[in-house]
Amino acid sequence: MFKLFKTPSFIRWMVPRRTWGFSSSETLYLTFDDGPTPDLTSWILDLLKEKEIKASFFCVGSNAKKYPELMNRMVQEGHVIGNHTMKHENGNKTSKEDYLNSIQEAAKYIDSNLFRPPYGRLPVPYVSSIRKEYEIIMWTWLSYDFDENVSVDEILIKSQKQIKGGDILVLHDNLKIEAKIKELLPIFLDDLIARGYQFDVISSFS
């Protein structure tokens, strides 16, 4: 099945009122979804600290509730956190009331006005209600690190060809892909650094 690593501009145009990327020639916005998880998120934080990179973590509320020490560490080390619903609900398969309640429940453990919908699935009728409290953060480049049919080498090749300044990059810190992320991330970051990119967090919007 064909994979769209880079989000086409026409999709961004068709789905407005969401942040898809930024205007920058030299800055990238590294994001991680689904954590925190004890071993992998800690390993990622150690690597980011070593390379002096800040990232934005879109956390699932149930995980944030279990691991408050990791949530605190992210913030203390200069990273940004965002809401990713309480139980990683798919907006296309969840009623509006239940979906909004999930976001509110997650907010008890995630102090942020940034939100990313799991799977990128967010029905248009839900958007106005969410935007009353959150900036909806999407992405311009998806790593497919979660897909067992996509190799580390393929991800690296796609990144070298497609990633440009201003892109929001999506990776994951869930345990299902721990071995793959540990192989991928150091090479991935070193390559982007060698290409002259710097990294920044996605700032909270007022």
Query: Active-site positions?
Result: 33, 172
Q: Which among 184, 190, 192 is positioned nearest to 153, based on CA atoms? A: 184
CB 120 within 8 A of CB 92: no
192 sits in which H/E element: helix 178-194
Strands (E), the chain: 27-33, 56-59, 80-83, 114-115, 135-136, 141-142, 168-172, 198-199
124-131 vs 96-106: helix crossing angle, rounded to 10: 30
CA distance 103 to 4: 27
